[in-house]
Amino acid sequence: MSRRDVGLFLALAAAWGTAFVATKAALASVPPVLLAALRFDVALVVLLGVALASGVRLRPTRADVAPVLTGGVFTVGLHHALLFAGQQYVTSAAASVLMGLVPILTPAAARLVGHADRLDARGLVGVGVGFLGVVLMADPGDGVAADSGVLGVAFVLGSALAWVLGAVLTREERASLGALAAQVWMAAVGVVLLHGAALLVPGQSFAAATPTPAAAAWTLYLAVVPGAAGFLVYFHLLGRLGPVRMGLLEYAIPPFAAAFGWLVLGETPSVATGLGFLAVCCAFALVAGGALRATVRRRLADVE
């Protein structure tokens, strides 16, 4: 990994850490589903502009339809609607730690759809430890109303599951669109679904918003920096570092989310958040430790 890769990796972790804080701040004035829709309105314009300027092929083939639809529904639409809804009730740090379950749940979900080998005993223990982390994060007695705390954890956990489903269901060997073009189409699908949901779900339309300059600024930041720019950096690094190393990104994000949450919103991470973070890190080591060691051995062998 070059110094540039390390720098981009840390910059992406910081940007995506601030996304939790920007979302929490914008939710004070904009309902969650509408906020997700507005975020991707702007992100879609930016991504489409970059795609057109780059001259990439945007026309999908028949094989591209399924991954674009599943990515748009699960990764863009359902994931962000649930994540933003959950952040009404939990801190930025708690939400980012819960999203650390993504690389733990992915192998199990991939197995269910035939993309991976069965989890071994260590992996099953890891999933159990990850579940313990969720229980710790729910922590009804940690100064938060029990119903609200559990509801927030449930929403964020649902968003993590939606992200995982999007990751495993969008795999299509015959798909021909590049990463940038696929992101454009997925964002377009997500925008349609999110605006439709904002109209149909009570309390999520423009009528429920109380727009302020601060909310507009946070929404714009959320769309451009962690959104469009963040995804472009992510896919650049994914091609260079591979999915196993990029899975570690979920563990670099929570410290940034906690720090920015404290600086911007005055949020103080609870003991339960810290314990949940440790449990999720242990779970990842149990589930993906073998793959990480194999990757390191291959890298060392290539160097030699």
- Cβ neighbours for 27, distance < 8 A, ≥ 6 positions apart: 35, 84, 87, 88
Q: How far apart are CA 33 and CA 203, in angstroms?
A: 9
Which DSSP symbol is given to 211?
Answer: -
Residue in 51, 21, 32, 16 with CA at minimum distance from that of residue 225: 16
- Span 204-220, pLDDT tens digits: 988 888 888 988 899 89
If one compares 126 and 264, the residue with the highest pLDDT of the two is: 264
Q: Indicate the pLDDT class of residue 288, thresholds 50, 70 and 90.
A: low
Does 31 score more than 90 pLDDT?
yes
Query: Is 164 a residue whose pLDDT tops 90?
Result: no
The pTM of the full predicted model, rounded to 2 decimals, is: 0.76
pLDDT at 301: 56
How far is residue 4's CA from residue 251's CA, in Å, rounded to a whole number?
20
Q: Would you list the DSSP string of 31-97? A: -HHHHHHHHHHHHHHHHHHHHHHHT------HHHHHHHHHIIIIIIIIHHHHHHHHTTTS-HHHHHH
CA 199 to the chain's CA centroid: 24
Predicted confidence band of residue 229 (pLDDT cuts 50, 70, 90): confident
Model pLDDT, residue 140: 46
- Give 188's pLDDT tier (boundaries 50, 70, 90): very high
CA dist., res. 158 & res. 136, Å (int): 16
What's the pLDDT band for 157 if we cut at 50, 70, 90? confident
Pick the more confident residue, 189 or 282.
189
Question: What is the residue extent of each domain of the chain?
Answer: 3-303
Q: Which of 236, 222, 227, 223 is nearest to 8 (CA)?
A: 236
pLDDT at 160 over 60: yes
**Residue 41: band (very low, low, confident or very high) from pLDDT cuts 50, 70, 90:** very high
Burial of 201 (0-12, 13-18, 19+ CB in 10 A): middle
Which of the two residues, 21 and 243, has the higher pLDDT score?
A: 21
pLDDT of residue 71: 86
Q: Does 194 have pLDDT greater than 80? A: yes
Please tell me what DSSP assigns to residue 207.
G
Which pLDDT does position 9 carry in this prediction? 83
Chain segment 78-103, per-residue pLDDT in tens: 999 999 999 888 888 778 777 877 77
In sequence order, the 6+-apart residues with CB closer than 8 A to the CB of 230 are 12, 15, 16, 19
pLDDT at 146: 46
Residue 171 amino acid letter: R
Give the pLDDT of residue 143.
38
pLDDT of 289 > 80? The answer is: no
